[in-house]
Amino acid sequence: MTDVIEYSKQGAIGVITIKNPPANALSFAVTKGIDDALAGCLADDDITAIVVTGAGRMFVAGADIREFSMTRPDDVPELPDVIDHLESSPKPIVAAMNGLALGGGMELAMGCHYRLAAPTVSIGQPEVKLGLIPGAGGTQRLPRLIGVEAALDAIVGGDPISAKKALELGALDEIVEGDLVARAIEFASTGPAPRPTGEINDRLGASDAAVFEAYRKKIARSARGMKAPYVCIDTVEIATKFPIAEGLKKERVLFEERRASDESSAMRYMFFAEREAAKIPDVPRDTQPYDVKKAAVIGSGLMGGGIAMNFANAGIPVTILDISEDALAAGLEKIKGNYAGSVSRGRFSQDEMDKRMALIQGESSYDKLADADIVIEAVFEKMELKKEIFAELDKVCKPDAVLASNTSSLDINEIASATSRPAQVCGTHFFSPANVMKLMENVRADETSNETIATIMGLSKKLNKVGVLVGVGDGFVGNRMLHVAARVADFMIEEGAMPWDVDRAIYDFGFPMGPFAMNDLAGIDVRHFIRQAQASLYPGRRQSLVLDRVHALGRYGQKTNAGWYKYEPGSRTPTPDPEIEALIKNVSAEAGIERRDFTDDEIRERYLVAIINQGAHVLDEGLALRASDIDVVWHYGYGFPRYHGGPMFYADTLGLGKVLAKVQELEKDYGDWLKPAECLKRLAAEGKGFKDL
In this structure, the number of other CB atoms found within 10 A of the CB of residue 413 comes to 15
Q: In sequence order, what are the residues at sequence separation of 6 or more whose Cβ sits closer than 8 angstroms to the Cβ of residue 247?
A: 139, 140, 235, 238, 239, 241
SS3 409: coil
676 counts as binding ligand 3HC under rule CB under 6 A: no
Half-sphere exposure of 99 (CA within 13 A, CB side): 17
136 counts as binding ligand 3HC under rule CB under 6 A: yes
Q: Which of 87, 127, 274, 605 is catalytic?
A: 127
Interface positions, 97-116, toward ligand 3HC (CB under 6 A): 100, 102-104, 107
Q: Which of 92, 126, 427, 471 binds ligand 3HC (CB under 6 A)?
A: 126
Distance CA 59, CA 22 (A): 10
Interface positions, 17-56, toward ligand 3HC (CB under 6 A): 22-23, 25
Of residues 136 and 308, the one with the C-beta less far from ligand 3HC: 136
Q: Which of 54, 131, 134, 641 binds ligand 3HC (CB under 6 A)?
A: 134
CB 614 within 8 A of CB 480: yes
Of residues 138 and 676, the one with the C-beta less far from ligand 3HC: 138
Output the smallest distance, CB 236 to ligand 3HC, in A.
14
3-state helix, strand, coil in the chain (%, to 5): 55, 10, 35
Of residues 128 and 612, the one with the C-beta less far from ligand 3HC: 128
Backbone angles phi, psi at 467, to 5 degrees: -95, 135
The angle, 0 to 180 degrees and rounded to 10, between the axes of the packed helices 647-654 and 656-670 is 110
Binding mask 608-637 for ligand 3HC (x = CB under 6 A): ------------------------------
Of 131-139, 163-171, 201-209, 497-505, the segment contacting ligand 3HC by CB under 6 A is 131-139
Distance CA 674, CA 179 (A): 64
Output the smallest distance, CB 155 to ligand 3HC, in A.
10
Output the smallest distance, CB 333 to ligand 3HC, in A.
35
SS (H, E, C) 188-220: HHCCCCCCCHHHCCCCCCCCCHHHHHHHHHHCC
Output the smallest distance, CB 358 to ligand 3HC, in A.
28
Of residues 104 and 473, the one with the C-beta less far from ligand 3HC: 104
107 in catalytic set? yes
Residue 534 to residues 475, 593, 667, Cα–Cα distance (Å): 10, 25, 20
Residue 335 to residues 59, 83, 434, 436, Cα–Cα distance (Å): 39, 50, 12, 13
Output the smallest distance, CB 79 to ligand 3HC, in A.
6
CB 136 within 8 A of CB 81: no
Of residues 463 and 547, the one with the C-beta less far from ligand 3HC: 463
Of residues 23 and 663, the one with the C-beta less far from ligand 3HC: 23
First to last CA, the chain: 40
Of residues 71 and 190, the one with the C-beta less far from ligand 3HC: 71
Output the smallest distance, CB 66 to ligand 3HC, in A.
5
Q: Which of 78, 87, 107, 325 is catalytic?
A: 107
Tell me the H-state helices in 567-621: 578-590, 600-620
Of 125-133, 221-229, 494-502, 654-662, the segment contacting ligand 3HC by CB under 6 A is 125-133
Q: In sequence order, what are the residues at sequence separation of 6 or more whose Cβ sits closer than 8 angstroms to the Cβ of residue 153?
A: none
135 counts as binding ligand 3HC under rule CB under 6 A: yes
Of residues 70 and 533, the one with the C-beta less far from ligand 3HC: 70
447 in catalytic set? no
CA angle 220, 222, 225 (to 5 degrees): 70
Output the smallest distance, CB 638 to ligand 3HC, in A.
23
Output the smallest distance, CB 434 to ligand 3HC, in A.
22
Interface positions, 250-289, toward ligand 3HC (CB under 6 A): 275
SS3 468: strand
Q: In sequence order, what are the beta bridge partners of 471?
A: 444
Of residues 44 and 159, the one with the C-beta less far from ligand 3HC: 159
Of 95-103, 363-371, 375-383, 431-439, the segment contacting ligand 3HC by CB under 6 A is 95-103
Output the smallest distance, CB 127 to ligand 3HC, in A.
5
CB 650 within 8 A of CB 612: yes
Interface positions, 138-167, toward ligand 3HC (CB under 6 A): 138
Dihedral angle at the C-alpha atoms of 608, 610, 614, 616, nearest 10 degrees? 60
Distance CA 307, CA 313 (A): 10
CB 636 within 8 A of CB 437: yes
Of residues 122 and 558, the one with the C-beta less far from ligand 3HC: 122
Output the smallest distance, CB 281 to ligand 3HC, in A.
14
CB 359 within 8 A of CB 315: yes
Output the smallest distance, CB 157 to ligand 3HC, in A.
13
427 counts as binding ligand 3HC under rule CB under 6 A: no
Distance CA 485, CA 481 (A): 6
Of residues 60 and 498, the one with the C-beta less far from ligand 3HC: 60
4 counts as binding ligand 3HC under rule CB under 6 A: no
Total binding residues toward ligand 3HC, as defined by CB under 6 A: 24
DSSP string, 247-305: HHHHHHHHHHHHHTSHHHHHHHHHHHHHHHHT--TTS-TTPPPPP-S-EEEE--SHHHH
Binding mask 51-80 for ligand 3HC (x = CB under 6 A): ----------xxxxxx------------x-
SS3 453: helix
Q: Which residues here bind ligand 3HC, judged by CB under 6 A?
A: 22-23, 25, 61-66, 79, 100, 102-104, 107, 126-127, 130, 132, 134-136, 138, 275
Catalytic residues, by residue number, are 107, 127
